[in-house]
Structure 1
Amino acid sequence: MAQAYALDTSQEAHMAEHVILCCVCGVAIPPNPAAMCGTCLRNEVDITEGIPKSSTLHYCRDCDRYLQPPAIWVKADLESRELLAVCLKRLRGLTKVRLVDAGFVWTEPHSRRVKVKLTIQKEALASTILQQTFVVEFYVSHQQCEDCVRVAAKNTWRAVVQVRQKVPHKRTFLWLEQLILKHGAHKDTVNIKEVKDGIDFYYGQRTHAIRMVDFLNAVVPLRSKTSESIISSDIHQSTANFKYTYSVELVPLCRDDLVCLPPKLSRQLGMLGPLVLVSRISNSVQMLDPSTLKIADLRTQQYWENPVTPLAEASDLVEWYVIDVQLDGPRSGKNALASVEVARSNDFSKTYLARTHLGNLLNPGDHALGYDLNNANFNHPALSSYFESRSSKFTLPDVILVKKSFPHRRRRARPRNWKVKHLGKEEEEERSGRKDKAADKDRDLELFLRDLEEDEELRGMVNLYKASAQDRQAMTQHSDSMVDDGQDEGGDENEDAMEESEGEEDFPEIRMEELLDDMERLTVADE
């Protein structure tokens, strides 16, 4: 027993050697570099200094989203992980401490208060780790997001850009719509409305409308004028409020249109034409002479000084069957001059000889789209001037081919694995002719999509997205039969017979590498 007692005494003496007194309150504590107990250390050092104990959350009641600075609105429910992340990002000073735990403290949902309980650690006073728990209170302030402001401000616009083109189709606007989406030129609009001959863009500020006009002027040939109307005025302060209207008129020409140049304009373009095809539309109009491969750019100012209208347009195209191709002229890029013997796809009783720029693309047995001038009746002043002139040696060709066609593959109506996006437009309310206009709209869209498939250069100017299963199912509802490309109904038997032997191996396909992921669809799926 004496030996055991001696052992206990030595242990107590050993333990007494490792206990010190707190330098503040005198309580015995294990040794530490600060020489203070935990209570005194907390009183001396506040590791939460620099972290606000209250803050503000901006909440949009219209769309139930919270503002994550600087300008991101996040969809979040009460006491959700998303809301907790927004709250933590609102607190400054958290980067200087170690966050151990974070969670919500229950509050009444209608109290407009959100409380978050935080546990943090920080090194204090000579390698001493201190842990502390505290509560941060957030005040919920109501604020409308930019999207909801635009919806609410449809009737409070300050400036409008009215874009018009006097043509019976919407192909130019479909292409212009894709350029606007790619460059984000519509981000400042408060409303977009589709009207009979174009689109109206409404803005809350005049500078945004001017920026839109400058963008349009850089991508399409146009002319514009400005007008203003006074809303209110203050004679005492010499101030007034105005509404501004910018009227923009696009050149009434579209890709693949057939144009007859007046003699004066033909001379200005280096004796081009007179029958030319519109090959490309940018800030100028590029024209191609299919009989000589000459190319000239018609500038915007030059066009409005000598305006011309198309002799024929895409709706007048007729499908032709290629019988023979003879290359007998120069080459220029992807074009090559050739003499081609063709016959209408629904009538092989008569053949025509056409001079065309498609020598590199056409082979015997192919199909092409072109204008039938032999059976057409034109009443055009520019064309009449050549026939009335005695010195003119101009003769009207029978056929002018425009581009290669793929009728067999079209009839299979395979849904595309890609799609394009559209602007959120309000359609004009019209009581009569809705079905006919819807069919015309679908036809114009189909022609535009085919242009994207067949022209790689045009395709590179827009954004194409991968189509989901739902998108493909919607595409199958719009059959390709709505677009006849000018074909007559009498040639189905001949074409079906030829389809069994021909496969159209050079049918334009869009590679998956050219497509972008639809981020909006992925976001909805994640939610």
Structure 2
Amino acid sequence: MEYVPTVVPHYVLCADCGTPIEPNSANLCIACLRNTVDITEGIPKQSSINFCRNCSRYLSPPQSWVSCELESRELLSICLRKLRGLAKVRLIDASFVWTEPHSKRIRVKLSIQKEVFTSTILQQIFEVEYIVSHGQCPDCTRLAAKNMWKASVQVRQKVNHKRTFLFLEQLILRHNAHKDTVSIKEAKDGLDFFYVQRSHAIKMCEFLAAVTPVRTKGSEQLLSTDTHSGTSSYKFTYSVEIAPICKDDLVCIPIKQARALSNINPLTICTRISNSLQLIDPTTLHSVDLPSTVYWRDPFPTLAAASDLIEFLILDVEPTGPTRGKYVLADAQVTFANSTTQHEVSDEGGRDSIFHTRTHLGAILQPGDTVLGYLLSRANFNNDAFETLEPSRIPDVILVKKTYPNRRKKNRTRNWKLKSIAIEAEDVPSTGADKVQGRGAFGRRGGLDQQKVEKDYEMFLRELEEDPELRGSINLYKAATATAAAVPGADVSMSSGAWGTNTSGGAKGRRGAKKAFAMEVEDDGMGEEAAGGATIEETDDEDDEDFPDIELDELLDGFNEMAVKDDAPGGEEVDEDDVE
């Protein structure tokens, strides 16, 4: 049997406290070693961090400003880069210690290791306190000095409505394309975006070209020249023109251009707008994708816009085929849905109010449905391309899309909201909260007809409700149910976008709605006549069964609602930040 010697550990006494320990280079125990050596020496326990209140950004060394939330990884990275001496130790862990958001203090707990002696590694935990110093970033300083922008993007569309810019606003928000914008002003036919750097303006032009059919022109203005260094200062302006064709518009393509586009029928409907125009012939289902570069070589105007649509009632529909995607060719028999429109057409010499037409909506139309279309038999267009068409090939009616009049008659509260860019029209910096809940840059100029702008916005909301494909490209947010919205008779619009929350009726409307609700409860459902002699009207119209409702899974969280404070003066709306 082989003999195995037993290893007996050797111990020495600690040089300070006399505790038996295993030998090390310092001959000190762990407790005495920590009391003798401080590995945090050279690392400051207090520092400062710069914060711009106008744009809600922090200064990241050396000279870049970054937007980040409290207790985020980005903010922790900025805090660690502010500390000197971390390069001499090994960082094990770093985390935030909770402080009051308004305390202007940020505390970070750090765990570090360092080799103090040969084969002796010491670990220590300590806290660093950062004082938040408020100031202005260079961008906000130039903005406060007025006219200190270096580049601007002027976006224009020569149409009589704002629906294109309302949709463009939502695309900008979804892709965060406005993060470098320092100011937005509303112009006559569009918006002006201002930037501190030329590269930011070029980036916005590239984004606009990717989502809309545009053409861009650039110009520059010389501000100053240094003859000694040979450097010059310029202001750059980019003019971006959006094609004056919108969704559901009727266009007549010139004959020569129509033949080049796979010989499509010149009379077409615009079904979708992206970086190209998607046109379809409703009588043959022949569709074409017209790129913006091809369109701007020989641009053509619209023949009729969405404001010229007339409501028709489907008397009979018979699908005939073929089928292409979601479109099915069908023969339809229609008449006027509005007696007023029928009377006006009859006064102009119309004898027959029943029209036979061919439509691409055979998959969704049923007898009794209401559709919007263009009446061409009584129209007079000043268009050269339209005059070259053979009269026998021009239909009396072109149906565009199905509509839901019963849905519009009912005063329903929308369960969703839209965010807004919310940068003021004036050159005034906005806070981070205003960028989420502000009124936006649309409809703020005094020269604009506010009622017309609100009408365009309501049409835009209806398009989102009725077109699932359209709302799939933007972000919709959940809206908390307001108290007044659940009361019969209350008129509260829960949709917020370019003008923010719009509450109709004010305090009187809310109080009147609550009173009507109380009277209905007293009646306890015994009849239509409530207590006090008030009569509650009920709508007999049935809801549209095939209406494409917006489901909850399509909505996103994260929208900060406007609080309604009943005890506020006049019952007006106040921000949550003002409610204590």
Please tell me the TM-score bracket, short chain as reference: 0.7 to 0.9
Once residues 32 and 205 of structure 1 are traced to their aligned partners in structure 2, the CA distance between those partners, rounded to angstroms, is: 65
Q: Aligned to 1:214, what secondary structure does the other structure show?
A: helix
Q: Once the two structures are superposed, what CA deviation does each residue of 1:332-372 show, in whole Å capped at 9, x if it has no partner?
A: 11111111111111237822112111111100111111112
Task: Answer yes or no: is 1:444 the counterpart of 2:456.
Answer: yes
1:215 to 195, 204, 207: 207
- What's 1:12 paired with? none
- Whole-angstrom distance in 2 between the partners of 1:455 and 1:418: 15
**Structure 1 spans left out of the alignment, 5+ residues:** 1-19, 77-82, 387-391, 480-498
Q: 1:171 to 1:135 in 2, by over 3 A?
A: closer
1:328/1:68 CA distance change after superposition, 3 Å: same
Note closer, same or farther for the CA distance 1:46–1:259 as it changes in structure 2 (3 Å cut).
Answer: same
Partner residue of 2:545? 505
Q: Call closer, same or farther: CA 1:297–1:55 in 2, change over 3 Å.
A: same
Quote the sequence identity (%): 49
Q: How does 1:262-277 map to 2 (within 5 A)?
A: 262-277=254-269
Partner of 2:313: 321
TM-score normalised per structure 1: 0.75
Q: 1:475 aligns with which of 494, 518, 521?
A: 494
User: CA 1:381 to 1:238, structure 2 compared with 1: closer, same or farther past 3 Å?
Assistant: same
Structure 1 position 415, deviation (Å): 1.5
CA distances 1:114-161 after superposition (whole Å, capped 9, x unpaired): 898999898988999999898967676554358845853662110111
CA displacement 1:433-464 (0-9 Å, x = unmatched): 95972112112122222222222222221111
Q: Which moved more, 1:158-167 or 1:184-193?
A: 184-193
Shift of 1:163: 0.7
Match of 1:225 among 206, 217, 222: 217
Q: What is the rounded CA distance, in whole Å, between the counterparts of 2:222 and 2:38 in structure 1?
A: 61
Equivalent position of 1:5 in the other structure: none
- The CA deviation at 1:55 is 3.3
Q: Which runs of 5+ in 2 are unaligned?
A: 1-11, 343-351, 427-440, 486-491, 496-501, 505-538, 563-574
Correspondences of 1:368-407 after superposition (within 5 Å): 368-386=371-389, 392=390, 394-407=392-405
Q: Distance in 2 between matches of 1:381 and 1:254?
A: 20
What is the CA-CA distance between 1:71 and the residue it aligns to? Answer: 2.9
Paired with 2:330 and 2:419, the residues of 1 have a C-alpha distance of 39
- Measure, in 2, the Cα distance between the counterparts of 1:120 and 1:163: 52
Write out per-residue CA displacement over residues 248-280 of structure 1, whole angstroms, 9 at most, x where no aligned residue: 111110000011222212222233222210111
**How do residues 299-314 of structure 1 correspond to structure 2 at under 5 angstroms?**
299-314=291-306
Cα distance in 2 for residues equivalent to 1:251 and 1:198: 12
RMSD (Å) for aligned C-alpha atoms: 4.4
What letter corresponds to residue 266 of structure 1 in structure 2? A
3-state SS of the aligned residue for 2:182?
strand
- Which amino acid in 2 is paired with 1:205? Q
Distance 1:282 1:84 in 2: 40
SS at match of 1:475: strand
> 2:317 and 2:267 mapped to 1: Cα distance?
22
Question: Is 1:457 equivalent to 2:469 in the alignment?
Answer: yes
TM value normalised by structure 2? 0.69
Q: Counterpart of 1:457 in structure 2: which amino acid?
A: E
Matched residues, number: 468
**2:78 & 2:451 partners in 1: Cα distance?**
47
Partner of 2:192: 200
Cα separation, 2, equivalents of 1:48 and 1:30:
26
Which residues of 2 match residues 47-126 of structure 1 at below 5 A?
A: 47-49=39-41, 51-60=43-52, 71-72=66-67, 92=86
Task: State the alpha-carbon separation in 2 of the partners of residues 322 and 283 from structure 1.
Answer: 34
Q: Given the alignment, which residue of 229, 232, 236 partners 1:237?
A: 229
Does structure 1 residue 357 correspond to structure 2 residue 352?
A: no
Q: Supply the distance in 2 between the matched residues of 1:216 and 1:132 (Cα, whole angstroms).
A: 53
SS of aligned partner of 1:229: strand
2:549 counterpart letter in structure 1: E
Give yes or no for contact 1:68–1:74 (8 Å, CA) kept in 2.
Answer: no
Query: Which letter does structure 2 place at the counterpart of 1:415?
Result: T
Q: Distance in 1 between the 2:455 and 2:58 partners?
A: 42
In the alignment, the residues of structure 1 paired with residue 151 and residue 176 of structure 2 have an alpha-carbon distance, to the nearest angstrom, of 18
SS of residue paired to 2:557: coil
CA contact (8 A) 2:186 2:442 kept: no
The whole-number CA distance in structure 2 between the counterparts of 1:262 and 1:402 is: 21
Residue 183 of structure 2: which of 180, 191, 215 is its match? Answer: 191
Contact 1:73 1:145 in 2 (8 A): no
Given the superposition, is the C-alpha separation of residues 344 and 154 from structure 1 closer, same or farther in structure 2, using an over 3 Å criterion? farther
SS of the counterpart of 2:247?
coil
Task: Identify the residue that residue 482 of structure 1 maps to in structure 2.
Answer: none
Render the CA deviation track for 1:149-192: whole Å, top value 9, x for unaligned: 58536621101111111000111111222221111111111111
Q: CA deviation at 1:84?
A: 12
- Match of 1:189, SS state, is coil
CA distance, structure 1, for counterparts of residue 252 and residue 97 of structure 2: 75
Distance in 1 separating the partners of 2:473 and 2:96:
50
Report the CA distance shift for 1:416/1:101 in structure 2 as closer, same or farther (over 3 A): closer
Letter of the structure 2 residue corresponding to residue 441 of structure 1: V
Contact 2:443/2:450 (CA < 8 Å) preserved in 1?
no
**Aligned-pair CA distance for 1:243:** 0.3
34-43 vs 173-182, greater mean Cα deviation: 34-43
* 3-state secondary structure, aligned to 2:44: coil
Is 2:91–2:111's contact at 8 Å kept on the other side of the alignment? no
Residue 330 of structure 2 is matched in structure 1 by 338
Q: Which moved more, 1:295-304 or 1:244-253?
A: 295-304
Mapped pair 1:412 → 2:410: yes
Equivalent residue number for residue 281 of structure 1: 273
Cα distance in structure 2, aligned partners of 1:119 and 1:297:
58
Contact 1:119-1:131 at 8 Å conserved across structures: no
CA distance in 1 between partners of 2:93 and 2:275 (Å): 57
Aligned pair in 2 of structure 1 residues 150, 469: CA closer, same or farther (>3 Å)? farther
Please state whether the residue corresponding to 1:323 is helix, strand or coil: strand
**Secondary structure of the residue that 1:174 maps to in structure 2?**
helix
Kept in 1, the 8 Å contact 2:479–2:561? The answer is no
Evaluate the alpha carbon distance shift between residue 42 and residue 304 of structure 1 in structure 2; reply closer, same or farther with a 3 A threshold.
closer
| Aligned AA (1:445) | Y
Larger Rg: 1
Cα deviation, residue 30, structure 1: 4.5
Return 393-402 or 37-46, whichever deviates more.
37-46
Q: Secondary structure at the match of 2:556?
A: coil
The residue that corresponds to 1:14 in the other structure is none
Match of 2:557 in 1: 517
